[in-house]
Amino acid sequence: MERILEGRVELEGRLDKVLSQTFKLSRERVKESILKGLVLVEGKVVKKPSHRVRKGSLVLMHLLEEEKEIKPKEGSLEVIYEDEHICVLEKPYNLAVHPHPGNYENTLLNLLLSRFEKLSKIGGRERLGIVHRLDKEVGGLMVVAKTDRAHLNLQRQFKERKVLKIYRAIVVGKMEERMGVIDLPIGRDPRDRTKMKVFGINYKEAKSEYLLIKSGKNYSVLDIKIKTGRTHQIRVHLSFMGHPIFGDKKYGYKGGLEEILKGRIALFSKRLGFVHPTEGKYMEFERQEPKFFKELEERIAKS
């Protein structure tokens, strides 16, 4: 299996060191790719780890990875609706959706492989049935495709922004406006490739609509509707507005209440609506936010 990493470096110095920091990889893995002629700098193959690279240079790196077997795993999986084409479920918190280097055994896909005999193959072996995703730290409603026909149809609905997606969040600070629209493009954070940023690298349109459900002196409960599905969209938008989500240390939460949050962030996929991919009828599902939301809100209100 091979991954291709590409981007403009934000540092200057030895190629192996710069790539290691840029792509968050060990120096040894980077050095191996360089020596095998799998790294291009401004379109030219470079085979010396010590090669000096300038800030802003365009680099492309072929990263070879060992093919890992993805095995079924028994576990609790709450299925809300199921037929021969699709499944709607509630994704647990602190669970990655699909396998990735470092985690091929404890993901939603491992649970799906144990639960279902058939999943769509459109996304490849590491994304069997996976049409869309939720962040590891986020829980809530997802739809999974069992057949390729269903997968392609749902994929198109997401792309054409025809899917209803509403989230519940508890954020830091009291929001003054009862409702609003955050219309700010999002791209990769140039200083941290694991994060996104308003007007980041290769930014794309991102739009979030929010409705204030209730608030206290130091917190607000919101429902957020999104049309676009950019990586970390809600988290980035709310943080940019000065209201990071409780538990979201990546985007501005300062810490505390760990005994309640337990690695989770206070964001939940609450409502999901789409047209059934084969029957053509509109379907909508809704779940109540998890118990820790109420406990968190009560604790915050007392502080």
Q: Supply the residues annotated as catalytic.
A: 135
Terminal-residue alpha carbon distance, the chain: 51
Measured CA to CA, the distance from residue 138 to residue 121 in angstroms comes to 25
Measured CA to CA, the distance from residue 104 to residue 225 in angstroms comes to 32
Measured CA to CA, the distance from residue 18 to residue 9 in angstroms comes to 7
Measured CA to CA, the distance from residue 23 to residue 188 in angstroms comes to 12
Q: Please tell me whether residue 18 adopts helix, strand or coil conformation.
A: helix
Closest CA to 92 of 290, 244, 237: 290
**Residues 226-258, buried b or exposed e (16+ Cβ, 10 A)?**
beeebebbbbbbbbbbebbbbbbebbbbeeebe
Measured CA to CA, the distance from residue 269 to residue 289 in angstroms comes to 8
Q: Please tell me whether residue 238 adopts helix, strand or coil conformation.
A: helix
Q: Please tell me whether residue 94 adopts helix, strand or coil conformation.
A: coil
Measured CA to CA, the distance from residue 7 to residue 58 in angstroms comes to 6
